[in-house]
Chain A
Amino acid sequence: MPDFTDTLRPSQPDGPTTLARERGQSDLSVDGLSKHLFPADGFLERQARILHILQKEPLFSKEKQQNLSRVERFKLGLARAKLLRRMTDQHRWDHEDYKMAQYLVDDVSPYFLHMEMFVTTIREQASEEQRAYWMPLIESWKIIGAYAQTELGHGSNVRGLELEARWDSSTKEFILHSPTLTASKWWNGSLGRVANHAIVVAQLFLPKPGSPEQYVSHGPHPFIVQVRDMKSHQPLNGVVIGDIGPKYGYITMDNAYMLFDNFRIPHSAMLCRYSSVDPSSGTYTKPEQPALVYGSLTYVRANIVHHARLVLARAVTVAVRYTAIRRQFQDRDSDKNGPEMSVLDYPTVQIRILPLVATAFALHYTGLSMQNVYRATREDIESGDFRSLAHMHSMSSGLKSLCTMLAADGIETCRRAMGGHGFGGGSGLIQLNNDYLSKPTVEGDNWMITQQVAAYLIKKMTDAVESINTPGTDETDARFKEFIRAKRQAGASQPISLSNDQDIVKSFELRATALAYDAYEQRVLKKQNWNSLLIQLHKLSKAQSQSILVATFFKALSTDQTLSGPTKTVLWDVFRLFALYTMENEGYEFFRCNAVARSSLNALPSRVQGLMARIRPHAVNLVDSWKIPDYLLDSALGRYDGRVYEDLYNRAHRLNPLNRITFNPNYWEEEIVMGTGENGRNILSKL
């Protein structure tokens, strides 16, 4: 319905004018940088192609979804997931195309676990025979699966799982049984309402050789189990399953609980590529390399690290564009009659947003390198070489912890830097925050898993000390040995003065190495209690991962041949901002480790502010280079065209279902909706 507000315009200068000026004032090549970020893999081409198809489907419109109840929003999520799967056939999408569509629609898919952990686990842990049986069923979607490991009482500590799989040698079956309430599977995605099969991780109990009455636990093992009827979709007898209820985010995911009551599954249910039970004797065959079970988890962590860059890029795209447009107060030292200042010109805003712009690039390069390391390690393993696995596992743990923390906190920092409107549904950062904030605690709690990094580094340091006279076997070993030798010779070496970019990298490496040595000293030499060291070990993991981010960023820019001119210059500044801002926040530790000269440390705040001033004119172009489409942003504040206020008003005035309802505000009348007589009791009885 037309009304007088249709003709109102925002006050000047408006968003489009401001963004045009921002884009004009920078000589950074947006397309050049985009090509550098997304080179040969066809990411941008694919994004454009899939986006075009998605936007024609009304079901994928995001306009009103924030208003829905959990039930309705879940239904919408499932409807979209189904449609995406059908469109995959219709448009002959490959897996990358499908993943792109999923990424753009931006719902956590209720099919996610079927397509990821379920199939990956079968692929990696099933025997050849099992794969031959299950893979066709999975790939043709004749069955839909999930992955059920975590329990109500146990997450990170997989060995503590309580669900039992007991071998019955008389019937040659396993009996799945939940002995306690805390043995209930919990949090398992895609299982609450959708899957009919699941990989179930349970403690394997086998009869003790010689005394068959006694059972011995062989630790957690994966089983493939049908849990729902293929016709009625009801849980099978002896199985109780459901969705665990509303969460902070992940509204379209049916995270599950699941309990078993002496539920029998055949011998063939146990995935037996690495360990198996002989059906006739009931004897157990051990895996050659016990760490292998962690293979899928490492894969998931590597993906999480790779994904973090796009998440943060999205948040900074919104924050940079909006704070460039938003104006607030005149500059105190300038003309009082000029327009108000762009909020992005406040150093207090810059220091929250610009280091995050830089962080997105840091995550990008490390994400890419993680993918490569993962692929290489995978190839090694397939060819029977397990040496790089420990390194990969440690690296993925530390980076998962640091990168998800940076991205999660980064989204929230961006949201808050946008003031009041950042809190509104039009910010585009709400579902992102809600969904992404699962990451710091999922797939290994960010604090717990840093122990794995520390344990690995302490072991490496111990090895280095013991073999000090042999040449370094890998990069870390060489660095550790150099440190130990320097320590033995000179005592305190000269701190680094940060006069060039290479020095910055060295400084980060030196601090990480010094902390690793400290930890080695405390734990190995002084035999300190592990628990008393946890805080220190967490800091070590963080230092190590920060050092990887900085070194990888540096290496990427140093070896790059695709960028030139002002774009390259700006990107070097972006590198410095990331590194020096990080260093400033950890200043005391760098100083204590003698990793930086005091004068360099004191100069950091002004160097950081100087870098921000240099990067500021390029801020909009830098975020434009990520080419995040408006459809994905779903943000009034972050739109490419800058029509912030028009969009906010449109969402409020025209798209908000609440505005179609007239309330009765008088407290002495029970009626809630004017003219309907609907009162509190009616509303409650509908539940």
Chain B
Amino acid sequence: MPSPPPDWVKALKPGGPQGSELLAQERAQSNVDVEKLSELLHTKEALERQDKLVKMLQPEKVFDKSQNHSLGRVERLKRALAKAKRLQQLAEQNQWSMEDLHAANELIGEPTPYGLHASMFLVTLREQGSPEQHKLFLERAEKYQIIGCYAQTELGHGSNVRGLETTATWNPEDKTFTINSPTLTASKWWIGSLGRTANHAVVMAQLFVGGKNYGPHPFVVQVRDLETHQPLENVYVGDIGPKFGYNTMDNGYLLFNKVKIPHINMLARFSRIDKETNKYVRPSMPTLVYGTMTWVRSNIVLQSGGVLARGVTIATRYCAVRRQFQDRDADPNAGETQVLNYKMVQVRLLPLLASMYALHFTGRGMMRLYQENQKRMQAAASPSQDARGPGPEELRAGADLLADLHATSCGLKALASTTAGEGLEVCRRTCGGHGYSSYSGIGPFYSDYLPTLTWEGDNYMLTQQVARYLLKSARAVLSGKAADNDTSRILRNYLDRRDKGASFDILEEDNDIVAAFAWRTAHLTFEALKHRDAEKRSWNSLLVDFWRLSTAHSQYLVVKNFYEAVSSPELSQSLDQDTKTLMHQLFRLYALHTLEREAAEFFSSGAVTVRQIGLTRTTAVMKLLDEIRPHAVRLVDAWAIPDWQLDSSLGRYDGDVYPDLFRRASQENPVNDLVFDPYPWNEALLKNESPKSKL
């Protein structure tokens, strides 16, 4: 690393008020009880765990983050594997729970090559394996004696699982399956942990028995030798190369040239081949599988609040420290204005601050519903629902609450991850020029987060499922056979009041805001129904309408969940009056800012008047920005994201933005080790280097 700067540089301080002073001033002007609010958001237990883990991990050199953004792909992956190994050793030594390991992974701040083994491989074996298979595969996998991944997506197919091309053909003569890749597009692709790390994979393949296709099913396939770690014969496996982000993960490709695996390797909890009769035995409880999807998506919603909070924490603290221009209308000798005082900065940042709370509470609400529902489902599970085809995304009647929850999770996953992903980029740009530096801590994190917008259901594709569900519910409401759930209620309420009109007082009454969002959703649902059923428009021509409908519905859900959370007894009991009021203001900011952005739909559905929108824009939102502004720093402090996790010069808790940027640039930047020869006619790149070295 470069030599330290001379003394005259070391002696320099930032000009004007110091970052620490500015943040102290910010924290002094607000009375938000940060500790109480943190506990409400995360629980005391989680905060203590986080403290303990930071103290344990941060001093270890292997977890050093300073070179993450300077290294090449190969070195990064090597280091990521070293981190993953060390975490696993620590987990074993300290007998970590799943939560501990998960929290530790969050703190080290990048995906590791064990990621898919620890999540999807173990989960799939556990949920889809028979007891015999648990003994054979799961027990060894839990001890990392075998390391696996989950190989579903192919080069030519992602969302459409039924279109997968890899085949698994049953051979009655020797009771084996042949796994084969008939085309290049059949290559498994994007499979995390497979590229260089895993020696086993759960492979989704089209099952063929006696010439008949039974759709995609999961098979456990060994892909590498347990001693040499080389691919087995007729298996082609490797890493797919550098990506936009996620470069510490070895996403892999995988091809099979007629590889035979034994009967026991087809995961058989739900469907299997009878070894004696060579007959396919149908799945018994498919809804449980589809519950997993719902769980995964609910988790994405819950995490999206925290993801966004990282960006907002960095941008809020930095914009409080950064100063730019004197206020045009103020005393010209006053110092420059904190960037956070600019209305055009507030209007980008503070609605995101409100969104992170909104998404967090919505995610919490979803998880609670999911858990309640799982209990009910398990009590009432009936084996008669076996008509479901092999596609994982099909809806079946029968479990109304789950259907509602499933549709809800699809729409919210799309809205929440889009809000968080795009919000991070807004935060980065709000930081101006320094946001472009990797030391801002936003850019690299954004790149790593972006796949979430595509995986577990592409955000645009998912909206079709929401629309399908809403249309179905609307038909049921019209025919008087609707299930008793919230969706049916808002649709019925709209029909009842449609002739009278809405007349919601969104500027004064919080519950009227929720009602206005419900109204717009119901209006768009019946509009879409008219297009589809009465006008017989094609499904494809309505996709844009469906996408808008799904977005509207999900925004309603967020508004509703946020409102319920800020009005809940749990919140009342844990917060003081001022902080509670502030939570209501955040709710209003989220809701009214969203309403203003979607003004045309609210207006044309008759949920609000043009005058109300005008007042929302010019008065209500501006007033909320003024009310929330003094508390901004404390509101991000309450998320309690450790500096080590933020890994950001701009977002440091202590506000020492400029010294930290300078320290990293001058001390942690390997480019400064080299003295270049700048002249074009000298082929040598470095001073005192022979022209033919390297490259």
Contacts and interface: CB of A to CB of B under 8 A. Distances in A.
Range for the number of chain A residues in contact with chain B: 35 or more
B15 A182 contact: yes
Centre residue among B1, B8, B242, B539 by max chain A CB count within 10 A: B242
Contacts of B85: 666-670, 672, 680
B436 A162 contact: no
A194 B238 CA distance: 39
A423 B241 contact: no
Contact of B678 (A68, A195, A245, A687): A195
Nearest to A345: B540
Contact of B15 (A179, A419, A653): A179
A246 B438 contact: yes
Given A8-B255, A534-B344, A656-B240, A331 B15 contact: no
Interface in B67-115: 67, 69-75, 77-79, 81-86, 88-89, 113-114
A531 B328 contact: yes
B433 A187 contact: yes
A351 B680 CA distance: 47
A443 B325 CA distance: 16
B433 A150 contact: yes
A241 to B, nearest CB: 9
Interface string A646-678: 101101110111110111111111101110001
A446 B599 CA distance: 24
A192 interface: yes
A347 B158 contact: no
Interface stretch (A69-77, A269-277, A314-322): A69-77
Interface string B235-253: 0101111111110001001
Nearest to B196: A663
Contacts of A424: 190, 240-241, 243-244
Contact of A180 (B15, B245, B544, B680): B15
A245 B234 contact: no
Interface string A411-440: 010011001101111110010010001101
B601 to A, nearest CB: 10
B73 A157 contact: no
A93 interface: no
Contact of A535 (B250, B343, B541): B343
A79 B685 contact: yes
A68 B669 contact: no
A75 B666 contact: no
Centre residue among A86, A531, A534, A668 by max chain B CB count within 10 A: A531
Given A5-B236, A71-B671, A240-B6, A661 B74 contact: yes
Contact of B429 (A349, A440, A609): A440
Centre residue among B85, B144, B158 by max chain A CB count within 10 A: B85
Interface string A14-33: 00000000000000000000
A74 B198 CA distance: 33
A193 B199 contact: no
A66 B159 CA distance: 27
B344 A181 contact: no
Interface in B1-29: 1-2, 5-6, 8-9, 12-16
B329 A416 contact: no
B241 A259 contact: no
Nearest to B147: A665
Interface in A126-175: 141, 144, 150, 152-157, 160, 162
Contacts of A529: 329
Contact of B64 (A179, A340, A684): A684
A103 interface: no
Contacts of B1: 687
B396 interface: no
A664 B432 CA distance: 43
A183 interface: yes
B662 A181 contact: yes
A355 to B, nearest CB: 12
Contact of A333 (B343, B538, B544): B538
B236 A447 contact: no
Contacts of A246: 69-70, 437-439, 669
A438 to B, nearest CB: 5
Nearest to B88: A667
A248 interface: yes
Interface string B629-664: 000000000000000000000000000001101101
Contacts of A249: 436
Interface in B592-611: 599-600, 603-604, 610
B171 interface: no
Contact of B184 (A5, A234, A651): A5
Contact of A679 (B82, B240, B323, B658): B82
B86 A11 contact: no
A8 B181 CA distance: 9
Contacts of B157: 328
Interface in A8-59: 8-11, 59
B675 A351 contact: no
A558 interface: no
A284 interface: no
A96 B387 CA distance: 67
B240 A244 contact: no
B155 A649 contact: yes
Interface in B657-695: 658-659, 661-662, 664-666, 668-683, 685, 687, 694-695
Contact of B236 (A4, A82, A150, A535): A4
A482 interface: no
Given A328-B163, A424-B240, A667-B144, A245 B336 contact: no
Interface string B438-457: 11000100000011011100
A531 B14 contact: no
Contacts of B525: none
B196 A534 contact: no
Contacts of A214: none
Nearest to B597: A588
A318 B380 CA distance: 50
A530 B327 contact: yes
Contacts of A653: 236, 238, 253
Contacts of B347: 535
A605 B524 CA distance: 14
Given A157-B324, A649-B184, A665-B197, A78 B676 contact: yes
Contacts of B73: 66-68, 657-658
A242 B669 contact: yes
Given A75-B695, A424-B241, A658-B73, A531 B672 contact: no
B156 interface: yes
A70 B668 CA distance: 12
Contacts of B144: 666-668
B539 A331 contact: yes
B694 A75 contact: yes
Contact of A182 (B114, B342, B658): B658
Contacts of A656: 238-242
A661 B196 contact: yes
B311 interface: no
A195 B677 CA distance: 10
B160 interface: yes
A329 B159 contact: yes
A232 interface: yes
A514 interface: no
Contact of A243 (B5, B77, B539, B669): B669
B78 A673 contact: yes
Contacts of A635: none
23 contacts: A59-B695, A66-B241, A71-B671, A72-B72, A78-B676, A82-B681, A82-B685, A152-B662, A153-B15, A180-B13, A182-B16, A194-B678, A233-B678, A331-B538, A332-B540, A333-B540, A346-B543, A348-B460, A425-B242, A427-B244, A530-B328, A588-B599, A665-B199
What are the nearest 5 A-B pairs in CB distance? Answer: A680-B82, A85-B680, A180-B15, A69-B72, A246-B69
Given A83-B680, A609-B541, 5 more contacts: A246-B70, A416-B454, A534-B343, A665-B147, A673-B78
